[in-house]
Structure 1
Amino acid sequence: MTVVGSRRRVDATLPAGIPVAELLWDVVGMLGETGDGAAARWALIRVGGQVLDPELALEDQGVVEGTMLFLRDITSPTPEPVVDDYSERVAITVDAQTGRWAKPAAQLLLVGAAALCLLGAGLLTLLIGDRGLRTVGGLGGAAIAAAGGLGMAQLIGKRALGGIIVLAGLPLWAAAGAGIAGEAGADSTGILAAALGSLAAGSWVAILIAGDAVITPAVGLIAALLLPAVVLVGSSAAGVGSLAAAALLAPLGLGQLAVTPALAARLANLAEPDPTSVSVRARRGRRLLAALLVGSTVLLTASNAALAISGGWFAWGLMAVTSVAVVAKARHFRFSAEVAPLVAGGLIGLVLLECSLVLQLSGPGRVGGTVAVLIADAILLAAAAATVRGWELSPLFRRQMSRVELLATVATVPLALAVLRTYEAVARFAHGLH
């Protein structure tokens, strides 16, 4: 590497694994530095002014081959770097830029390639494998992914890389769950429940292995998968199918949305009265809240999609009130990562409602009608984007939105029961009594 002093510069090979403090006096001697008569405190400084930690080695601080460092007495003001010519100025400018190819970049590339291989294997096993392949391949692949992630996180200390490996193996978890459920003779609803539950379990394992490196996406996946898995298990046991599960997920998903702020605060440990770490925990809580909101919104969007496919006036009514309730909940939040998923989820639900209505009521011209509806929606949304003035809502409008949210949320319960044909069953039961 190149070390620049006040009088000269040298190109030298320095050991990368020795603390900087043990190299300083040799570098001072090579550069012929003597100080200004007072006690000098020498340090190696990067381009841009970052002082290297004397207790750490060069490689521990990301100093790689070809780096330019400056030797300075940090007890005196730092002079401007001496530049001999234009080519040296270019060299200094280039050296200050980030993105240098080094060991971390190579590790990330190789881990990314390994993750793609695991992801491809999991998707192939899940989508086109038979029950035996799903069971054996899924279990074996999930175990290999978990072991590889654990090795990355614990043995070489790369928790983020370990988290990538574990998350890439999640389709293998889903394949294993689907295979085991199929071997047990479960119906399609039960197989889907097992796959989703296995994905949630794999996400929890990723948190245990990689910790904060993957907690945000993993928590979002758990929020999107755990409740549907439980509801689908109940639907399979009752023999009522996936449409019943979609109807039940509407009120239950809105209930999950209501508890996400408290859950995020608890996961981030915001109740801890330590003022020194409150900013870190607040940022962590915001990320977790955004992940929970995204997962819950995905859950409700999937419910709306299933209801749109089934059709029927009660299903359409349930989609409408669910979408309105989701959009109304956005008023409780301030940050884009929290507001955007809710507004987007509500808009998607309303567009799905329109498309379902047109496709099932328009007859022969339903495709053209759906295209027209989508174009009209695009025009309306673009016009809204051009005319919006801000997100600041007046107190009166907030109170009105609160009433709308309450009414829409409450309405999901009787509409879900109607989709489940509960009222018809009660009427038949009452008629049988007579």
Structure 2
Amino acid sequence: MGATYSRVTVVGRRRRMDAVLPVDEPLGKLLPDLVQMLDEPVERWPRRRFLTTVTGEQVAPEYSLASAQLGDGAVLRLMAEGELPPPPTVYDITEETVDDLDRRAAAFQPRHRRALAGAALVVSVLAGVIALVTQTDSDLALFLLLVLTTLTGFVGVVLGRYQRPVVGIPLLSIATGCLSIGLVVWAVAGGWSVPMAFAAGAAGVGIGAVLFAGAGLARGGVLGGTVTVAFAVCWIGGVRLGIDADRVGVVAGALSVLVLGLLPRLGLAMSGLTALDDRRAQGVEVQRTDVHSAINAAHLGIALATVPVAVSSVASAVVMLRTWNGWSISVAVLLAFLLASRARLYPLLTEVAVLCAAALSIMLVLTFVLSTKEAGGALIAVGLLVVVGMVAAFGMRPESPQHLQARAAQILDAIEVAAMIAFVPLAFGVFDLYAKLLNVA
């Protein structure tokens, strides 16, 4: 019966070669030939040679490729006794260049091609929808948008359920865009103001996030979509009821503070992680993949939910500062502080960055409005910016000892509690509650 051979790669100090070796021959017998073919340098003192695998495990000389379980494509390194692992020598520049692309996450892959094609499909369809809406009657446009939203949403959910995200994600994106555009068209046709029309469109985005979650493509979309719809309903409902914009802003700001405290717990509960913990406490086996999926869904839901919270908070501050009285200014400043302080509850960079950006935006709006006021408003604005800059510079400090961090966290917690307590009477002041009570008295 003929001998069986296997192709392996042997790496020496100077060269690297692909060799076809018999699988049943002891590697110790092959070492002299391998040393010669690799042109190993002659040393002053003889040293024992041996082969090692890529993981650093030494292959005994009496072992063959078969007994060592080294198949085709295995990589062996020729080492000398007492020798340190060699530096990462490059033997083939062309091969190294080709392999480098496989190690880079930014290399263009087929999945990138599919993602770009899906994005192009979504953009082209939505652009056509916008062109159609601007050129047709609002009733006809709403009917067409309803049909398109229903079809793409239903098919997208079905494909998502059957693990076809390449087509399901673009279809659900089209459904979300059509729903948002349809709500904006409906609001404009009903005589709503432009900000309220955009709030209606935001509600459509929230419903679209829920569709993604229903398709199994983004489990965290339920939390993000629910929070988005809740804030949109808060703004639209307040304005449609005839409440002043600054007072609606106070209610939305209070809702932001409340939601920020509840989001971590809601994210864990709605992702199913709390249910998995309860099952494990009851002695039921829980798969690691289920836990990881629930954790990813929790982080995604919390990250998505922080965006509408931040946007609504900035909008609340803008409408409150337009009235320019002591009550609204105080509420806006407290809202900015609470956004920045409660960002400590969130573990991911995106969540913290969104909340801190919202707090900074509120302070910038306040300084801009101050700079337009007379009686030293510009000087006050400069002083406020200096304070903000000092806080930012404090955040650039080197890492403090653990006991100092714990003490600072306790102080900040106490200030945050005081700010939340002060938020309520200041909000009543925006509603002129105290003036009405004095008039009644």
Q: State the TM-score, normalizing by the size of structure 2.
A: 0.66
In 2: Cα distance, 1:245 partner to 1:372 partner: 29
Task: Tell me what 2:42 maps to.
Answer: none
Residue type at the aligned position of 1:202:
G
Q: Is 2:239–2:248's contact at 8 Å kept on the other side of the alignment?
A: no
Q: In the alignment, which of 243, 257, 260 is matched to residue 257 of structure 1?
A: 260
In 2: Cα distance, 1:310 partner to 1:124 partner: 38
1:145 to partner: Cα distance: 4.0
Superposed CA deviations along residues 29-85 of structure 1, whole A, max 9, x for unmatched, are: xx99974389xxxxxxxxxx9xxxxxxxxxxxxxxxxxxxxxx97933733499xx8
Task: Tell me what 2:213 maps to.
Answer: 207
Q: In the alignment, which of 196, 199, 202 is matched to residue 196 of structure 1?
A: 202
- Pick the structure with greater CA Rg: 2
Q: 1:125 to 1:6 in 2, by over 3 A?
A: same
| Secondary structure, counterpart of 1:6 in structure 2 | strand
In 2: Cα distance, 1:420 partner to 1:304 partner: 15
Q: 1:97 to 1:328 in 2, by over 3 A?
A: closer
Q: 1:293 to 1:191 in 2, by over 3 A?
A: closer
| Secondary structure, counterpart of 1:394 in structure 2 | helix
Task: Tell me what 1:410 maps to.
Answer: 421
Q: Are residues 1:76 and 2:33 paired? A: no
Q: Is 2:370–2:381's contact at 8 Å kept on the other side of the alignment?
A: no
In 2: Cα distance, 1:323 partner to 1:299 partner: 12
Q: Are residues 1:158 and 2:194 paired? A: no
In 2: Cα distance, 1:144 partner to 1:158 partner: 16
1:314 to partner: Cα distance: 1.7
In structure 1, the gaps of 5 or more residues are 9-30, 39-48, 50-71
Residue type at the aligned position of 1:76:
L
Aligned length: 368
Q: Are residues 1:420 and 2:431 paired? A: yes
Superposed CA deviations along residues 226-275 of structure 1, whole A, max 9, x for unmatched, are: 22222234324421243332121111111111111110111222221255
1:136 to partner: Cα distance: 3.6
Q: Is 1:324–1:346's contact at 8 Å kept on the other side of the alignment?
A: yes
Q: Is 1:175–1:195's contact at 8 Å kept on the other side of the alignment?
A: yes
Superposed CA deviations along residues 289-341 of structure 1, whole A, max 9, x for unmatched, are: 33333432332222223323443322111101111122222333444344333
Superposed CA deviations along residues 366-419 of structure 1, whole A, max 9, x for unmatched, are: 8x8799679857864664454454596533332322222122223222323332
In structure 2, the gaps of 5 or more residues are 10-18, 27-53, 55-64, 79-90
Superposed CA deviations along residues 79-117 of structure 1, whole A, max 9, x for unmatched, are: 3499xx847745763674466666433322211101222
Residue type at the aligned position of 2:413:
S
In 2: Cα distance, 1:81 partner to 1:173 partner: 61
Q: Is 2:321–2:366's contact at 8 Å kept on the other side of the alignment?
A: yes
In 1: Cα distance, 2:381 partner to 2:430 partner: 28
Task: Tell me what 1:174 maps to.
Answer: 180
Q: Is 1:362–1:369's contact at 8 Å kept on the other side of the alignment?
A: no
> 1:85-164 maps to which residues of 2 (within 5 A)?
86=92, 89-90=95-96, 93=99, 96-97=102-103, 103-121=110-128, 131-132=138-139, 135-147=142-154, 149-150=156-157, 152-153=159-160, 157-159=163-165, 161-164=167-170
In 1: Cα distance, 2:100 partner to 2:424 partner: 63
Residue type at the aligned position of 1:415:
L
Q: In the alignment, which of 279, 287, 305 is matched to residue 292 of structure 1?
A: 305
Q: 1:293 to 1:105 in 2, by over 3 A?
A: closer
Among all aligned residue pairs of Structure 1 and Structure 2, give the percentage whose two residues are the same amino acid: 15
1:7 to partner: Cα distance: 7.6
